[in-house]
Amino acid sequence: MNSQSMWGMRHPIACTFAVIFLSLLVVLGLPKLFPEGSTITTATKISARLVISGLLVFALIKLRWATDAGIARRPWHPSCWLAMLPMLLLLPINLSSVDWSALIFTPSATMTWLGFNLSVGIFEEVLLRGFCFCLLYKAWQHRKNSLLEAAIAQAVIFGLLHLINLANNPTLDTISQVIYATLLGIGFAGLAAYSRSIWPGVIVHSLINLAGSLNDLNPNAGENSGSLIGYLFAIIVISLVSTLPGLWQLRKARLKLAAN
């Protein structure tokens, strides 16, 4: 183990924060070099996410953590498809707000919609549930509740980093993003631990993003301002279909690890 990985094991919170922050800095910063809303800006975001994901996978392989992180191929839990179902309940909720008659599936818009959302699913799951979750768990594996602590830590850190959106978004919207990211992060960590792979999470994450952004294919769609009641309802729903199942899956995964 090299000096960098040893430092990360000694300071897992600092390392996790740094990796997430630097990754977001690249993904959000590079597109600023190009005109806002241009095709090259979106292509840069997609490319940056995929390149960083590839670098993180390479790092996990070099550290010999690929299997533990759920990157490398190994048998998924036989019930992982059932474990995916609670979060997939977010799909019909997202789809209920789509104005299907107004959607225009041009080749360019459709490819952008697919590439943008698939790259987000891959990037966030590799970064958070692959690299950061694995690092935190390995650093804390001597603790009794190490799996749960690692799951909560990576979710909270990612959630708090959404506070950078305060620079451009209303406070209520930003605080809601922080809470959403944290609650969903615990759910996705549970799914990864239970399934023994991050790829079910990549599938679910991408599908949720695709369903939630279908209105981007409506050229006349306007910005919908959120309300406190709407945000509270979303928090309750996310807790029920993501966080609570994730906590149950983390418990089952911990018992499985303890039995081995």
Contact 198, 134 (CB under 8 A): no
pLDDT of residue 118: 97
Residue type, 6: M
Helix and strand element counts for the chain (H, E): 12, 0
The span from the CA of 210 to the CA of 215, in Å, is 10
Encode pLDDT of 218-236 as tens digits: 888 766 667 889 899 999 9
The span from the CA of 126 to the CA of 231, in Å, is 27
Encode pLDDT of 70-124 as tens digits: 998 778 888 999 999 999 999 999 998 898 989 999 999 999 999 999 999 999 9
In the chain, how many domains are there?
A: 1
pLDDT of residue 192: 97
Block mean pLDDT (10 aa), the chain, length 260? 73 92 92 85 95 96 94 86 95 90 92 96 96 96 93 94 85 92 96 96 96 90 76 95 97 89
Q: Which residue is associated with the tokens 């019930």?
A: 79
The whole domain housing 209 covers 3-259
Contact 175, 201 (CB under 8 A): no
The span from the CA of 229 to the CA of 61, in Å, is 45
Query: CB 100: neighbour CB atoms within 10 A?
Result: 10
The pTM for the full model equals: 0.93
Contact 212, 93 (CB under 8 A): no
